[in-house]
């Protein structure tokens, strides 16, 4: 009957451990821990050195980083290098064009008045500065486009920087601001074409036989300026708008993917909630009634035996107390399963390790413990509870798989190093097992360690011992 009670308590603990991902369970803070020394002269069986846990993470805070919403995928280093190279090339090209236009319109060989020649020559410098700013046209599209358009309106120079900046602006903005800049760039481009037609060395006049400046044939080109300016502005504005539409399409696709993932997570949460409620009902309807019956029968047996058989009375009392404790744990598990947000009533932690070991010794399990923990009161409650459960499950595993073997437990740590737990016992292949195992004990310990951000390893060693090694952070990650 005692073995059945132990199996029931392990089932309850396992039911508690399968709540991973459903909701966080809150536990009380540990305030103290007993200092139980290992018996002098005893040597713990060796554990495999390959089972040592990884060092704790760097002391940069235990809080998990916030996961942002999915955004545009970052460009690779090669793509960024190509983009920077292209921007620098455009800046150099626009600067050379500005210098060439200033050389054509600002020299004494032109027919422009001296004031126009001076403005054309000095205008090369602000346009060169604007050309350099084209490197940052995607970061500051409004500023760069405004400066380029303003310089092209005021100075006889090339309109190419204004057109390139307009493409970047169209890719980043929409509405009245975009169309205002399109109109301003159109006017600046038309003005640049007018200055080119009035120049003695006109580029546009080369397409119609290069008439002389001021002639009727040259002046007739002014009628084509609105059309030419429209043909110059339209490709750049269209390219920017197409790029913005593509970016918005990609963002919409990412938003759809995010919504799909959120919907799947919501469905999974609802499914887990249903399973949790069903599990709570099954546990309450089956185990609660059986544990109550066992407690009543053990109490009746204790009263019946009385003082006639002291050992039998002690065994009956142990069965009754174990059944009552298991029933309390069961009710707590059912309450947490039905309401994960509610805090657990029966919280265990570092301050309960001594009581756990004393109880194990009274029940016949030889446990030799060494607990050296600095400032246990500051340990996170969930981490302390996970440590307690790892030690408890290690003791249960020894009872089930190696009855009669001595378990050596070592718990060390502090705020700076975290908690290191080692539990080692000699393997006893010839010893009869107390019960069969479903393989959930080690899985539950591993899940508990992972939930708080720790590591866990367990298995037999070459020296004939079985070791459990776990590292837990001082605060839940």
Residue 455 is predicted with a pLDDT of 93
pLDDT in tens, the chain (477 residues): 445 445 555 544 544 443 333 333 222 323 333 333 344 345 556 655 545 444 443 333 333 333 334 444 555 688 888 888 888 888 888 888 888 877 776 666 566 677 777 777 777 888 888 889 988 988 899 999 999 998 888 888 888 999 999 999 999 888 899 999 999 999 999 988 888 777 777 677 666 666 666 567 677 777 888 888 999 999 999 999 999 999 999 999 999 999 999 999 999 888 888 887 887 777 777 777 777 778 788 778 777 777 777 777 777 777 887 777 777 777 777 777 777 665 554 467 888 898 889 888 887 889 999 999 998 888 988 899 899 989 999 998 888 888 888 999 999 999 999 999 999 998 876 655 555 555 678 888 898 899 889 999 998 888 888 999 999 999 876
Provide the β-strand partners of residue 373: 413
For residue 85, count other CB atoms closer than 10 A to its CB. 10
H or E element that contains 466: strand 465-472
Spatial strand order of the sheet with 465-472 comes to 367-373, 407-414, 418-426, 465-472, 455-460
Show Cβ contacts of residue 391 under 8 Å, excluding neighbours closer than 6 positions: 353, 356, 409, 411, 421, 423
Compute the distance between CA of residue 446 and CA of residue 140 in angstroms, rounded to an integer: 51
Domain residue ranges in the chain? 27-67+348-477, 75-347
What residues contact 306, with CB distance under 8 A and at least 6 apart?
Answer: 313
β-strand partners of 369: 409
pTM of the model: 0.44
Q: What is the pLDDT of residue 236?
A: 93
CATH of domain 27-67+348-477: 3.30.565.10
Q: Which residue in 380, 340, 371, 331 sits closest to 353, CA to CA?
A: 371
Look at residue 54 in the predicted model and tell me its pLDDT.
40
DSSP state letters, 358-376: HHHHHTT--EEEEEEESSG
- Strands in 327-417 per DSSP E: 367-373, 407-414
Question: How high is the pLDDT of residue 391?
Answer: 93
Are residues 150 and 170 in contact, defined by beta-carbon separation less than 8 angstroms? no
Alpha-carbon gap, residue 184 to 251, rounded angstroms: 30
Q: Which residues of 134-146 are buried (b: 16+ CB within 10 A; e: fewer)?
A: bbebeebbeebbb
Distance CA 42, CA 424 (A): 13
Report d(CA 181, CA 188) in Å as an integer: 10
Q: How much is the pLDDT for 223?
A: 82
């Amino acid at each position: 009957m005692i073995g059945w009670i132990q199996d029931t308590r392990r089932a309850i603990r396992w039911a508690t451990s399968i709540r991973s991902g459903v909701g966080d369970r809150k536990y009380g803070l540990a305030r103290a821990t007993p200092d139980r020394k290992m018996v002098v002269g005893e040597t713990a069986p060796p554990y495999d050195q390959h089972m040592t846990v990884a060092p704790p993470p760097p002391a940069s805070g235990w809080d998990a980083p916030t996961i942002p919403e999915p955004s545009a995928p970052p460009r690779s280093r090669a793509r960024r290098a190509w983009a920077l190279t292209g921007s620098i090339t455009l800046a150099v090209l626009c600067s050379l064009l500005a210098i060439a236009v200033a050389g054509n319109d600002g020299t004494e060989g032109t027919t422009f008045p001296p004031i126009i020649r001076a403005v054309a020559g000095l205008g090369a410098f602000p346009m060169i500065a604007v050309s350099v700013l084209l490197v940052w046209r995607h970061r500051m599209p409004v500023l760069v486009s405004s400066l380029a358009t303003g310089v092209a309106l005021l100075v006889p120079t090339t309109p190419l920087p204004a057109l390139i900046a307009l493409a970047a602006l169209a890719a980043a903005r929409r509405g009245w601001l975009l169309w205002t800049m399109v109109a301003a760039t159109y006017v600046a481009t038309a003005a640049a074409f007018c200055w080119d037609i009035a120049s003695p060395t006109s580029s546009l006049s080369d397409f119609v036989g290069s008439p002389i400046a001021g002639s009727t044939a040259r002046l007739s080109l002014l009628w084509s300026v609105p059309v030419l300016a429209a043909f110059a502005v339209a490709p750049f504005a269209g390219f920017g708008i197409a790029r913005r539409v593509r970016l918005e399409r990609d963002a919409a696709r990412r938003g759809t993917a995010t919504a799909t993932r959120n919907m799947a997570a919501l469905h999974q949460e609802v499914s887990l909630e249903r399973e949790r409620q069903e599990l709570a009902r099954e546990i309450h309807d089956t185990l609660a009634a059986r544990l109550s019956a066992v407690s009543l029968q053990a109490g009746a047996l204790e009263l019946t035996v009385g003082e006639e058989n002291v050992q039998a009375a002690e065994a009956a009392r142990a069965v009754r107390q174990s059944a009552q404790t298991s029933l309390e744990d069961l009710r707590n598990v059912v309450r947490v399963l039905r309401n994960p947000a509610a805090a657990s009533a029966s919280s265990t932690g570092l301050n309960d390790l001594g009581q756990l070991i004393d109880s194990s010794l009274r029940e016949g399990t030889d446990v030799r413990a060494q607990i050296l923990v600095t400032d246990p009161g500051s340990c996170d409650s969930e981490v302390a509870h996970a440590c307690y459960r790892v030690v408890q499950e290690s003791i249960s595993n020894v009872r089930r798989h190696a009855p009669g073997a001595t378990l050596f437990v070592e718990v060390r740590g502090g705020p700076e190093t975290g908690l290191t737990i080692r539990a080692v016992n000699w393997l006893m292949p010839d010893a009869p097992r107390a019960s069969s195992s479903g393989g959930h004990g080690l899985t539950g310990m591993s899940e508990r360690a992972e939930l708080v951000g720790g590591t866990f390893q367990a298995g037999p060693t070459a020296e004939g011992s079985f070791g459990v090694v776990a590292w837990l952070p001082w605060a839940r990650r």
